[in-house]
Structure 1
Amino acid sequence: MYEDSWYAFVPDHVNKRSIAAPQPSGHRRRESLLQQPNGTKQFEAEPLPELFEDVETNNDPPEPTLTRRAKSYSDFYHVVRAQLSRDATAARKKRRRHKDRIAEALVLAKPEDSVDRREPYRFRTTGDELLEASQHEYLLYGQQLEVTERHLGSLIGAANGALDLLTSLGDSFRAVELQTTTFQAQCDDLVAEEKRLQVLADEVGTDLHYYAYLDGVTRRLNAPGASRLVDHENFGEILTNLDACINFMAVHPTYRDAESYLARYQALLTKALHLVEIGLTNHLNRVSAEIGKQITSTTSDAARHALAYGRYQDMILEADGLIANVQRVIGYCYDSAGHAKNTRNFDSCSDTATNLFAVYLDIRDRDVRPITQKDVDVFKKESADMNAETASRNFIKQCYERCFNESALFEKLFAIDPQYSTDSKSAYVAVKAQQKQLVTSVNIAPIAATLQPVLQGSELQTVCNLLGWVTNEYLIFESDDEETRFAINCHKLTARLLFEHLWPLTDVSFEAEVTKSITKAVIAPESLKIVPSNNDASSSNAHPIAKRSLELLAMYDQAMPKERSQKSSPVVYKIVTETISALQRAEAKLKTNKAAIPEPDPDLFMIKNLLILKNGLLALEIGDVRSQPAAMQHFGEIWETLSPQNWMGMVRGILGGSLSLGLWSSGAQANGGTTGKVSQAKSVSAVEQDASERLDELLRQSIYSFTQRWGTLLTSAASSKTGGSNLAAIEKDLDEKLKAAFGGQPEVLGKLKEAIHINAQAQKEAKDQKK
């Protein structure tokens, strides 16, 4: 490690160490260069810088410091963030110190600065070694980079060679592809042909399956125990396969023996359906034999209900395989709502379904006959002992509950809920054709048949009250919470019960009452007099026929919904027309017996009663019934409809003979000397339009006759010599008649007086023109 040449740089001194005694031969450690030379004149080295270290001279304990308490959990985020900041700062400082050390190591001091001029060679060589040692790591890294560069160059050369090889191979493949195009096309044709043959073979195998299935299913259905097959769900596969085979033979009529196989498969399907029908019949008879006896022997209503619905349902559904096959047959021809499906075997399946419905309804009607008969007996007894309306309400409620339970049982058995439909192929029509005494959601005729004798013998008001209660109770939902399944079922039953039975029954009752109290009513002479009316009731002094007409209109409006109580209703039409005819008979009797009965005025009598009838129709507002009869509140509207806009011009036209009574129609625009036409536009039905026009026409005639006659009397009295006294007497007589007819109704009095004075003024002007 130590060379002798190093000592050549150390100068000789005067006082050298004396030559030591000769050392024994062998290894001897050389003298260290750091040893100072001996002599009087020693080497003067620079003193080391003083190390500034704090010397602890005090042995006292350290000063106490206040330890900071840990922050709360709410300040944990700030504590962590501060700690992370301090760690990052410390890491940056450490990296900076490391970089500074590296920079200091890399800095090469100049030889003249770091090496003593007296020992140039020694410190220059040491600096080179230190430089080489400090750069050793970087020199190794440079050598590694050179090796990597040579390796990457060899890889690039290999990659270029591979790319050239691949390019040559691609050119070779393209050349081969061009040469084998024809061969490839031939191979594609062969593959396509192979696929076609495979598909054809599959189709042939599938088609043969429809032929091969015949023998097996024939043996199964003709076996001695074939009737027991319907008790298992596997029988449904036979029905499905037969249906598929029939469809296949029908779709491919050109196949060999397709017609023969089609006929045989249809015969087998008919036999299978017949087995299902027999199986269900036997099962229902077994259940009925047990349940029917228990229902008959039980007197408790709750026990009967539990047997008829709870126990009956459990026993029927025990044969789950048979029920599944029955539902499969029903599903071939109907959906869940009972609408017909467009299937090829619909006729045969629908016939079987109809037979299944008939069998079930017959047996079910026989089982629950004691319950239904008891309800009918209780209803008849209550209607005789109590109020018929209350008894009818209770009976309808019981029937609705039974309909809901029967519908649920029917749906459990056949998996359909027949909805109302007019389609002849629907399940609703098929079930309705099996009319029994059993009340179901389809067959509600027994309800009407039981109610009809009682309602026909009751008063008309009782029938109207019952219809109003049924409508408000079941047809109108007050809130969404009431729209339960039972409420929806009752809503449907009520709509059909009213539309099919109760409304026609009510119409017949009203027509009978109209015939009895209006058409064939006897007109007594004392009923023709007009007595003073009460101020609070405009119809108090009306004719009894007009009063009865208003009562019938109000009752009919109460019993019927707004859509049906329109004026176009046949009942409303009959009430109006028969009332008009009766009033005309009364007017004719007044004119005939005018000498015997001086009062009332025939025209005023018609105006009074026809206006009351017209006002009653408007007061109802086609379905809106007033609680109290209003005092001619619609007379203004009636008068505007009946009166022309220009009374003076119209009266002049009448006097001139150029205006007919038809100009008094609704909406006519009358001017002096012109002729109007009746509007042909009709917004309501023809029946109602005729009745309304007839009523308006009679009002026009009566008003015209009354105003013209009294206008003539006023004109004659004014033109006579004793005009003052006669005119006063005539006006007094007119006021008495008008007050007797329309007392307390100043609007009517004013309109009629105005019309009379206008007529009188027109006659006066006409006479002046003639003069």
Structure 2
Amino acid sequence: MYEDAWFNSFTSKPKQTAEKSKHRRRESLLKQPTEANQADVEAVEAIAESIENPGRPKSPPPATVARRAKSYSDFYDVVRAHIKKERRLQLEKEKLHKRSQGKLRNDLQFGEWYNGLSEELQDASHEDYQLYHDQLRLSEQHLDSLLDETTSTLDLLSSLSNSFKAVEVQTTAFRAQCEGLLADQRRITQLADDIGDNLQYYTYLEPITRRLNAPSASNFVRSKEYSEMLANLDSCLEYMQEHPGQREASTYKSRYRLLLTRALTLIRVHFTNTLREIAADVAKRIADRQLNETTMSALLYAKFRVGAAELKETGLEIQKRAVHSAGAEPGAEAEYQSLMNELYQSYSTTRGRLILPIIAKKMAEIAMAPSTSKDVVAFARSSIGFMRGICFDEYDLWKEWFATDGGLYDFLEAMCEPMYDYLRPRTIHENQLLKLCELCTLIHTRYMEEDDDDDEPIDLNRLDFPHLIHTALEDAQTRLVFLALNVLRDDIEYYKPKAEDLDYPARNRQSSVTAAKPNGPVLSGRRDRKTSNGPLTPLPKDPTIVEEDGLETRFNFEPALQDCYPTLRKAIWLLSRIYRLVNSTVFDDLAHQIVHQTTLSLHTASTQISSKASPTDAHLFLMKHLLLLKQQIVAFDIEFVTPEVSFDFSNVTSTFWELRERGGLFNPTNLMRLVGGGLMPRVVENMLDAKVELDGRLRTVINDFTNAFANRMTVAIAAPTISKQGPQFNGIAALKSLREQVEKDVPFLRKKLDEYLDDPRTKETLVGAVQDQILQCYDEFYVKEKVRKGVNGGGKAASTKGKGRDDEVWDADMFAEWAVGVFKVGRVGSREEEGEDEDEGSVSDVSRSGST
């Protein structure tokens, strides 16, 4: 087990061989030997002879009671002390042996000595083993004690661990018990706080009741605590509303509601009394002395602004609570809105007593003034301007007393009543339509807001004065519509034309003397450069209104509508007067009636002209006036303003020419599309119904005119003529008669068109339409004639090239070529272009289909 260093200290070290010298001893005394390093178990050399110490006991030496080793270092000290003691005994033994050698005198002593020495030698030879045995025994005892102590220590530690576990269990249980107690404490504390919070809504009842029922409650309204008290009442009512299940919630809710009503009523009483005191002071000062306008204004407005801020804050307490409760029916009045209305009413009544006499006096002065006594427009301008200033001043003062516009406009409308007492009778008795138009224009342009700036946000903090003056505008518009209907009835519907009104051929000749005439027809639908700067039909300048006998008025055009039929002039004048001055819905109906009655009057006049002059004059008369009426309807665009009436006739000059170029003039579908909206300018949407009616009548008169001339020229080849002559019908003679009739009537046609129409393109289009109709009739005639010749088996085929012969029936192409040369549609005259000449392809010939 242990190294033998301590054992060798008792004996002399033997001489070891070279092989033994290679053995290395272990450093640790407690480490067990291994196979590679075995303990030294060889026999020790003989011990030197020593003198036996007779006094030495043969038993092992007495045990040395040493201190119990607690560690390896203590055990090492014990062993060293024991070895030192053994060495000391050995030295004493050697000394005794040396002393005993000098006492051997005989053999017996020697024998005894030798025997003793043998025993000592034997004991000495076993002494090392015995000593090692003793050491082992001591080590075993020491290790046993260590094991016992370790076992006891482990037992102690185990008991301590068990004790700690028991303590931990107890501590955990104690901690859980403490946490439970803390949770109970928190729950009880929260319950106590909740009870306190809930009880505080019940504790306000008594102190608030005492305050509101005290004799000095009216003075309490001015204090800051009054607002806090109202806030507490709101909180209590809200709490009772949210907790209806509590035992006394319904009772306290009703009592708090009564207290809130009582508190708001005190505010209303205080507001009314303060306002009455201010008004009484102002009225007394006004009655005591005469005041000028500046002093009066300062007194009426500055005095009311002194306490306005305080009363406004007080009134807000009612305003904040004058709201609809949750679940209220739509349209129902808020609970405390009646109190707020009483504030509005009290203020309006008080201000009305002070302001209305001043307004009535001012209106009377304006009505008696020479410049405004007989002129409704001047009176309206002065009175409305004065009321506008009053309304804006009252609006500013109202904003200092109240936060909203609840009863503002009712109050301002009551302020405007004296003005309406004077303005409404004057408007109703006004018989001049132009005065009413001027009145409507004045209100529109000066006092009504424009609707163009839709993107700008609406300023809610601005007075809506147009709302206050809208009644005056409605009165003027109503009277304006009434007078317009009278004009429509008297001057259009029941108009009785004079003789000079129906003498239109003569009137056309008279007007043609002064009118500028073009050099001739244009080519390819374009006008000559000298006349291309504008339409040949003169454009009217800004109309000049001329009074006639104080009642009738007319436009002084030069000369666009000057020589037109009176009903057309009156209709255009009436439309231009009422446009944008009345409501769009009213204007729709009224404009339709005007256009409808004008169209009927033109038809009536056309019928009378047909009986007095000729159907051609009647057709051209109706066509000319319908075109003018249609163009004037287009003139009412969105930019139209009544004082700046302008008429554009440029579209009239291009309508028929476009129809002529596109072809299909007599196709009802195409004609409706072209005349109704394909080529004509777009008509304002208010006139859609009247426009459709007008387009239909215009289409009819165009067809009647072209059919009349075409039938007149083609009477020789018409189906009735062929049927009447039967087999004796001669196609060559009929063709000759047709050519003669066409050559005769074409100049007459152009002459009639020149008398009624000024635009070359319009005239060329109508001539081309007649030409198309004739070519279509001749095409049908040629087909029938060809069939008839085929049945009879005779006749020569007409040549399609060169000049047609007089002894044969021309084919359709040859006749068309001849007709183009006679009608000369688009080929009469010349035309100049800047920097370029027209080629021959730009001159379009007329085909049988009617296209150019």
For the aligned pair, the TM-score class normalised by the smaller chain equals 0.5 to 0.7
| Count of residue pairs the alignment pairs up | 544
1:161-199 alpha-carbon deviations (Å, 9 max, x no partner): xxxxxxxxxxxx999999966665665555455444433
Q: Distance in 2 between matches of 1:717 and 1:487?
A: 81
Q: Residue 229 of structure 1 contacts residue 235 of structure 1 at CA under 8 Å; is this kept in 2?
A: yes
Confirm whether residue 254 of structure 1 aligns to residue 245 of structure 2: yes
Secondary structure of the 2:197 match is: helix
Q: Residue 361 of structure 1 contacts residue 436 of structure 1 at CA under 8 Å; is this kept in 2?
A: no
Query: Which residue matches 1:302?
Result: 294
Query: Which residue matches 2:343?
Result: 356
Query: Which residue matches 2:487?
Result: 517
Q: Residue 388 of structure 1 contacts residue 458 of structure 1 at CA under 8 Å; is this kept in 2?
A: no
Q: Distance in 2 between matches of 1:302 and 1:193?
A: 78
Find 1:234's aligned residue among 208, 222, 225: 225
Query: Which residue matches 2:30?
Result: none
Find 1:462's aligned residue among 435, 442, 446: 435
Q: Distance in 2 between matches of 1:590 and 1:571?
A: 28
Q: Distance in 1 between matches of 2:412 and 2:198?
A: 46
Shift of 1:664: 6.1
Q: Residue 230 of structure 1 contacts residue 276 of structure 1 at CA under 8 Å; is this kept in 2?
A: yes
Q: Distance in 1 between matches of 2:167 and 2:387?
A: 91
Q: Distance in 1 between matches of 2:618 and 2:314?
A: 80
Q: Residue 233 of structure 1 contacts residue 324 of structure 1 at CA under 8 Å; is this kept in 2?
A: no
Confirm whether residue 452 of structure 1 aligns to residue 441 of structure 2: no
- Partner AA of 1:362 in structure 2: T
Q: Distance in 2 between matches of 1:471 and 1:591?
A: 43
Shift of 1:450: 4.8
Query: Which residue matches 2:626?
Result: 610
Q: Distance in 2 between matches of 1:188 and 1:644?
A: 107
Find 1:739's aligned residue among 751, 754, 761: 754
Q: Residue 379 of structure 1 contacts residue 391 of structure 1 at CA under 8 Å; is this kept in 2?
A: yes
Q: Distance in 2 between matches of 1:346 and 1:523?
A: 58
Find 1:369's aligned residue among 356, 365, 368: 356
Shift of 1:360: 0.9
Q: Distance in 1 between matches of 2:168 and 2:675?
A: 99
Q: Which runs of 5+ in 2 are unaligned?
A: 1-163, 516-536, 539-558, 718-733, 786-852
Secondary structure of the 2:415 match is: coil
Shift of 1:351: 1.4
1:331-358 alpha-carbon deviations (Å, 9 max, x no partner): 3337xxxxx8979998222111111111
Q: Residue 545 of structure 1 contacts residue 582 of structure 1 at CA under 8 Å; is this kept in 2?
A: yes
Query: Which residue matches 1:542?
Result: 564
- Partner AA of 2:341 in structure 1: T
Query: Which residue matches 1:39?
Result: none
- Partner AA of 2:215 in structure 1: P
Alignment of 1:350-749 (within 5 A): 350-382=337-369, 384-385=372-373, 387-416=375-404, 418=405, 427=406, 430-432=407-409, 437-439=414-416, 450-456=422-428, 457=430, 459-473=432-446, 489=462, 492-494=464-466, 496-497=467-468, 500-521=470-491, 522-526=494-498, 527-530=501-504, 531-532=507-508, 536=538, 537-557=559-579, 559=581, 569-588=585-604, 590-591=606-607, 594-596=610-612, 598=614, 601-625=617-641, 627=644, 629-630=646-647, 632-635=649-652, 643=659, 646-648=662-664, 650-651=665-666, 653=667, 666=676, 688-716=687-715, 726-727=741-742, 730-743=745-758, 745-749=759-763
Asked which structure has the greater RCO (Cα within 8 Å, sep 6+), the reply is 2
Find 2:267's aligned residue among 265, 276, 290: 276
**Greater shift after overlay, 549-558 or 594-603?**
594-603
Alignment of 1:129-148 (within 5 A): none
Q: Distance in 1 between matches of 2:452 and 2:354?
A: 38
Q: Residue 717 of structure 1 contacts residue 727 of structure 1 at CA under 8 Å; is this kept in 2?
A: no
Q: Distance in 2 between matches of 1:176 and 1:542?
A: 126
Secondary structure of the 1:203 match is: helix
Q: Distance in 1 between matches of 2:780 and 2:366?
A: 75
RMSD: 4.3
Q: Residue 232 of structure 1 contacts residue 322 of structure 1 at CA under 8 Å; is this kept in 2?
A: no
Shift of 1:265: 1.8
Secondary structure of the 2:401 match is: helix
- Partner AA of 1:451 in structure 2: L
Shift of 1:576: 3.5
1:122-170 alpha-carbon deviations (Å, 9 max, x no partner): xxxxxxxxxxxxxxxxxxxxxxxxxxxxxxxxxxxxxxxxxxxxxxxxx
Question: Per the alignment, do residues 180 and 464 of structure 1 end up closer, same or farther by CA in structure 2, a change over 3 Å counting?
Answer: farther
Q: Distance in 1 between matches of 2:283 and 2:780?
A: 94
1:460-484 alpha-carbon deviations (Å, 9 max, x no partner): 333433444454445679999xx99
Question: Per the alignment, do residues 603 and 354 of structure 1 end up closer, same or farther by CA in structure 2, a change over 3 Å counting?
Answer: farther
Secondary structure of the 1:524 match is: coil
- Partner AA of 2:434 in structure 1: Q
Q: Distance in 1 between matches of 2:683 and 2:627?
A: 22
Query: Which residue matches 1:331?
Result: 320
Larger Rg: 2
Q: Residue 510 of structure 1 contacts residue 571 of structure 1 at CA under 8 Å; is this kept in 2?
A: no
Question: Per the alignment, do residues 467 and 351 of structure 1 end up closer, same or farther by CA in structure 2, a change over 3 Å counting?
Answer: same
Find 1:313's aligned residue among 305, 310, 313: 305
Q: Distance in 2 between matches of 1:446 and 1:489?
A: 24
Alignment of 1:153-168 (within 5 A): none
Q: Residue 517 of structure 1 contacts residue 545 of structure 1 at CA under 8 Å; is this kept in 2?
A: no
Shift of 1:734: 3.4
Q: Distance in 1 between matches of 2:402 and 2:366?
A: 32
Question: Per the alignment, do residues 437 and 614 of structure 1 end up closer, same or farther by CA in structure 2, a change over 3 Å counting?
Answer: same
Shift of 1:432: 4.5
Shift of 1:559: 4.5
Alignment of 1:61-210 (within 5 A): 187=178, 190-210=181-201
Shift of 1:572: 4.3
- Partner AA of 1:742 in structure 2: L
Q: Distance in 2 between matches of 1:343 and 1:403?
A: 38
Q: Residue 529 of structure 1 contacts residue 599 of structure 1 at CA under 8 Å; is this kept in 2?
A: no
Q: Percent identity?
A: 24
Q: Residue 738 of structure 1 contacts residue 749 of structure 1 at CA under 8 Å; is this kept in 2?
A: yes
Q: Distance in 2 between matches of 1:748 and 1:635?
A: 8
Secondary structure of the 2:560 match is: coil
